[in-house]
Amino acid sequence: MFTSPATLPATQRAWVSARKGFPPSRSLELRTDWPVLKTLKPGQVTVKIQAAALNPLAWKLMRYLPNWIIKRPWAVENDFAGIVVSADSTSRFKVGDEVYGGVDPAIGFSTKQGALQEYVTLPAKDLAKRPPNISPFEAAGVTVTATTALQVLNDTKLEEGQTIFINGGSTSVGAWTIQLAKLRGAKVVVTCSKKNEDYVRSLGADEVIDYTAVGPLHTYLTKSPPSTKFNVVLDAAGLWDSSLYSQSAAYLQPNGIFITVGPTPHEFTWGAVPQLFAWLALLGLPRFLTRVQAKGKNIIGAVRAEDMEFLRRLLEEGKIRPTVDSVYEFEDAVKAFDRIVTARARGKVVVNVSLSQSSRVPST
C-alpha cells in the first residue's frame, strides 16, 4: 500500500484549542499526547511538518466557535511546509519529497488535525512540491492566502489594462494579489499605513493611500475619485462596516466587482449585529433592491490542485515571492498568535515546528 513504510510515533506534540476563549492563550494548550494519524486512505500522504503559518481565521474560531459546532479539543491552523514520510502508492508523491500545502478545514475538524502539530495525514491533492528557491518558512505561508488571491483575480476576471483597488495591501492576501495582478498587466492601487508604503511598492503597487491619514475610506474615495473608476475593489482587510461597498458608485465601475475576504469583526458585540445584516442584505439581495450597481461577493479560498501547481511554477520562476513577518519557535506559538492578533504583521507569521533555528529566514 505504501511506496515506503515509515516508522511513525504513536503520539506527537500539538497546539490545540482546548476551550473557547480570547486572547488565544486562554484557548490554546500544548499537548504532548496528541495521536498521530497513521492509516492512509488511497491518495493520501503523511507529512512531517517543518514550519506552519498562522491565519487570522484560527484565533477568530478560538474566540467565537462554540463547542456545539465542533467538539474541542482540536489541533489548530492550516498552512504548513514539510517532508513526506509515508505515501499511498496511488498518490503523486514519494517519501522524501519536500512539500507545502494546507489542511482542509473539513478534514481538520473531522480528524482533529491541524498544521501546528508534528505530523499530518491528508490528501496529496492538497499539496505541492516546494520550489527549491524558497525555504520551508517561506513556503509554509503560501497556500491559503495565495490561492485566495489567485481566486479573487480569476473570479473577477481582472485583465491587462484594468485597475484593481486593494484595501489592505500589506495583508497577506493583499500582498499576493498585488503581485498576481501586476503579472496580468493591471494597475494596482492599495491602502496601507505609511510605514508599509515601501513594502507594498516593492511588491508592485502603483499607487498607495495611507488609510491612517484620510479618514473613512469610502468618504475619501467619493471626494477624490480616480480619474478612471476601478474595475475591481478587493477588501482584503475584512471590514465589518459595509460602506466601502454600499457607497462605491463614485469609484467602482457599474459593471465592476466588489469582493471581500469576508467581513469579520475584530471583536463581536451585539452592537455589530445591524452591520452583519447590512452585509447579508448587500451580498444576498438583488442589486435593484440594494441600489448598488456593482456586483458584490464574498470570497472563500479553496485549495485546488490546479491553483497550487500554477502558483508553484510562478514561485519557482521567481515571478512572485512569499514574505515572512516573523518566525517563532514551536513552544512560543502563543506569542506568534499574539503577533497576528495585532493585525500589524507584514507578511506571514510562521512557527518553526521541527527545523533548526539556523534555518530561519530574515524577517521582512
Give the CATH number, domain containing residue 91. Answer: 3.90.180.10
Residue at a domain's end among 283, 298, 313: 298
The predicted pLDDT at position 194 comes to 96
Please tell me whether residue 253 adopts helix, strand or coil conformation.
Answer: strand
Q: By the 8 A CB rule, do 180 and 160 touch?
A: no
Cα–Cα distance, 97 to 82 (Å, whole number): 9
- Report if residue 249 sits inside a domain: yes
CB count in 10 Å sphere of residue 22: 14
Q: Could you read off the pLDDT of 10-68 as tens digits, one per residue?
A: 999 999 999 999 999 999 999 999 999 999 999 999 999 999 999 988 998 898 888 88
- Report if residue 307 sits inside a domain: no
Amino acid at the residue 272: A
Cα–Cα distance, 362 to 105 (Å, whole number): 30
The predicted pLDDT at position 119 comes to 98
- Report if residue 228 sits inside a domain: yes
Cα 187 to its chain centre, rounded Å, is 23
Cα 167 to its chain centre, rounded Å, is 15
The pLDDT confidence band at residue 361, using thresholds 50, 70 and 90, is: low
Please give the grid coordinates belonging to residue 163. 485597475
Residue 266: pLDDT above 70?
no
**If you average pLDDT over every residue of the chain, what do you get?**
91
Name the residue range of residue 246's domain. Answer: 144-298
The pLDDT confidence band at residue 134, using thresholds 50, 70 and 90, is: very high
Q: Could you read off the pLDDT of 165-197 as tens digits, one per residue?
A: 999 999 999 999 999 999 999 999 999 999 999
Cα 172 to its chain centre, rounded Å, is 6
Residues 174 and 272 in one domain: yes
Q: Which of 35, 40, 36, 32 is nearest to 2 (CA)?
A: 40
Least confident of 105-109, 277-281, 317-321, 327-331: 277-281
The gap between the terminal CA atoms of the chain, to the nearest Å, is: 43
The predicted pLDDT at position 192 comes to 96
Residues 25 and 128 in one domain: yes
The predicted pLDDT at position 364 comes to 47
The predicted pLDDT at position 263 comes to 72
The predicted pLDDT at position 1 comes to 42
Residues for the chain: how many in total? 364
Please state the domain count of the chain.
Answer: 2
Least confident of 81-95, 120-134, 292-306: 292-306
Of 361 and 168, the one with more pLDDT:
168
Residues 61 and 171 in one domain: no
Of 235 and 273, the one with more pLDDT:
235
Residues 138 and 151 in one domain: no
Residues 104 and 148 in one domain: no
Cα–Cα distance, 242 to 264 (Å, whole number): 11
Cα–Cα distance, 248 to 126 (Å, whole number): 36
- Report if residue 306 sits inside a domain: no
- Report if residue 3 sits inside a domain: no
The predicted pLDDT at position 214 comes to 96
The pLDDT confidence band at residue 293, using thresholds 50, 70 and 90, is: confident
Residue 299: pLDDT above 80?
yes
Cα–Cα distance, 95 to 328 (Å, whole number): 27
Of 194 and 276, the one with more pLDDT:
194
Cα–Cα distance, 269 to 257 (Å, whole number): 29
Residues 206 and 227 in one domain: yes
Q: What is the mean pLDDT of residues 209-219?
A: 96
The DSSP symbol for 9 reads -
For residue 53, what are the CA distances in angstroms to 224, 244, 325, 339, 348? 38, 29, 10, 12, 6
Residue 359: pLDDT above 70?
no
Contact partners, residue 349, CB within 8 Å, separation at least 6: 53, 54, 325, 326, 328, 336, 339, 340
Q: Which of 178, 181, 190 is nearest to 160 (CA)?
A: 181
φ/ψ region of 52 (left if φ > 0, alpha if ψ in -120 to 50, else beta) reads: beta
- Report if residue 347 sits inside a domain: yes
- Alpha-helical segments (H) within 210-353: 217-223, 243-246, 273-284, 287-290, 305-316, 333-341
Q: What is the pTM of this model?
A: 0.91
The predicted pLDDT at position 81 comes to 98
Residues 268 and 153 in one domain: yes
Cα–Cα distance, 298 to 116 (Å, whole number): 27
Residues 126 and 178 in one domain: no
The predicted pLDDT at position 47 comes to 98
Residues 135 and 158 in one domain: no
The predicted pLDDT at position 46 comes to 97
Q: What is the mean pLDDT of residues 326-349?
A: 95
- Report if residue 328 sits inside a domain: yes
* Percentage of the chain modeled with pLDDT above 90: 74
The predicted pLDDT at position 220 comes to 97
Q: What is the mean pLDDT of residues 333-353?
A: 94
Residues 148 and 293 in one domain: yes
Partners of 99 in the β-ladder: 82, 129
Residue 269: pLDDT above 80?
no
- Report if residue 6 sits inside a domain: no
Residues 117 and 197 in one domain: no
φ/ψ region of 204 (left if φ > 0, alpha if ψ in -120 to 50, else beta) reads: left
Q: Which of 71, 72, 121, 73 is nearest to 101 (CA)?
A: 121
Residue 357: pLDDT above 80?
no
Question: How much is the CA Rg of the chain, to the nearest whole Å?
Answer: 21
The predicted pLDDT at position 3 comes to 45
Cα–Cα distance, 74 to 137 (Å, whole number): 23
Residues 92 and 185 in one domain: no
